[in-house]
Amino acid sequence: MSIGRTATVLLRGLEGVIVQVEADVSPGLPAFHMVGLPDSSTLQARERVRSATQHAGVPLPARRITVNMTPAWLPKHGSGHDLAIAVAVLAAHEALGVKSAAESVHYAEVGLDGTLHPVPGVLPAVLAAAQAGYKRVVVAAEAQREASLVPGVEVVGAATLAEVIAFHRGEPAATKPIGSGQADAEQEAPETQAAGDAPDFADVLGQAEALQAALVAAAGGHNLFLLGPPGAGKSMIAKRLPGILPPLTDEEAVQVSAIASLSGVFDASGGLLRTPPMVSPHHSTSMAALVGGGSGMAAPGAISRAHCSLLFLDEGVKCQPHRVH
């Protein structure tokens, strides 16, 4: 028996860290040990992987199985490592191609029946894999379109663990691998149509000084403070600012789309977000919802979601204006 190796991605905010997953199958009492500071959700992968491999027709051997996730000092969290753990163990069991598994990054949750489920943050995870030099990423079929938005990476989408095993064995895949070029060509038309639906400044009658201030703020990337009685048109003007902001650059589009992916609100069918979105938190929003946070994996707040875009704080939001940039 050899040691099976593959890679996955650990998300730390918007940045991804490549995690090497290695598995050893050796003689001994049947056991499944995981080391490398996994949290409870990652440790539960043992039961998911054991059941999934059974349903995929490649049951785990009744031996001592040890899985190590490096760097070992970095805490691992989430269920996105399930597929990498399963592939590493099967590679150690020589149930699939060892070389193919080692050259790929796997990022998906595995169900008890072997079904692959997408996890939040697919776009930044694939981006981290590309920056680390990997040329192939395997994700759940539902996340294939989103993952293919990262250029220079072959994206393999699989619906089940059995399809991943077949792919690493060199057998015909049920889902054809795609790259960024094909996805961008298919999604160019929906992007243009979405940008044309933005509210227009032509709807605003009067308020010449406020409109001039909005134009200056949009052109120079300045903060804008609108003061006036209710009904004067403050919100109306603010909601039309995205329509006159310049389109996002390729780098900015990837960053903004990655934040939306982490937030679970990204629709990959329209391609990368090219029009700066407007983020308008409710006036009763909490500080955690505004700046981000949460237990376990921190969620992006309104300020993060407005990266390279527009953050509109309506009257009543308890936030000092000079703290928002």
Domain with 112 in it: what CATH number?
A: 3.30.230.10
- Whether pLDDT at 37 is above 80: yes
Q: Looking at the structure, do residues 197 and 305 belong to the same domain, yes or no?
A: yes
pLDDT at 1: 57
Higher per-residue pLDDT: 212 or 268: 212
Under a CB-based contact definition with an 8 Å cutoff, are residues 129 and 105 in contact?
Answer: yes
Under a CB-based contact definition with an 8 Å cutoff, are residues 145 and 186 in contact?
Answer: no
Lowest mean pLDDT among 112-121, 160-169, 258-267: 258-267
Lowest mean pLDDT among 85-94, 125-134, 302-311: 302-311
Cα(126)–Cα(141) distance, integer angstroms: 14
List the beta strands (DSSP E) in the chain: 4-12, 15-26, 31-35, 64-70, 105-107, 109-110, 116-117, 136-140, 154-158, 278-279, 310-311
Q: Looking at the structure, do residues 21 and 128 belong to the same domain, yes or no?
A: yes
Give residue for tokens 């199958």: 25
Q: Looking at the structure, do residues 193 and 165 belong to the same domain, yes or no?
A: no
Give residue for tokens 């619906």: 159
For residue 183, tell me if it sits in a domain: no
What is the domain count for the chain? 2
For residue 292, tell me if it sits in a domain: yes
Q: Looking at the structure, do residues 169 and 238 belong to the same domain, yes or no?
A: no
| Torsion sign over Cα 57, 29, 8, 301 | positive
Q: Looking at the structure, do residues 19 and 166 belong to the same domain, yes or no?
A: yes
| Torsion sign over Cα 110, 113, 115, 120 | negative
Cα(266)–Cα(260) distance, integer angstroms: 5
Q: SS3 helix, strand, coil % of the chain, rounded to 5?
A: 40, 20, 40
Under a CB-based contact definition with an 8 Å cutoff, are residues 124 and 15 in contact?
Answer: yes
For residue 218, tell me if it sits in a domain: yes
Q: Looking at the structure, do residues 163 and 294 belong to the same domain, yes or no?
A: no
For residue 308, tell me if it sits in a domain: yes
Cα(33)–Cα(193) distance, integer angstroms: 51
For residue 88, tell me if it sits in a domain: yes
Q: Looking at the structure, do residues 288 and 266 belong to the same domain, yes or no?
A: yes
Query: Which range of residues forms the domain containing residue 197?
Result: 188-323
Instruction: Output the pTM of the full model.
Output: 0.76
Q: Looking at the structure, do residues 14 and 52 belong to the same domain, yes or no?
A: yes
Residue range 181-197: mean pLDDT, rounded: 41
Residue range 40-56: mean pLDDT, rounded: 94
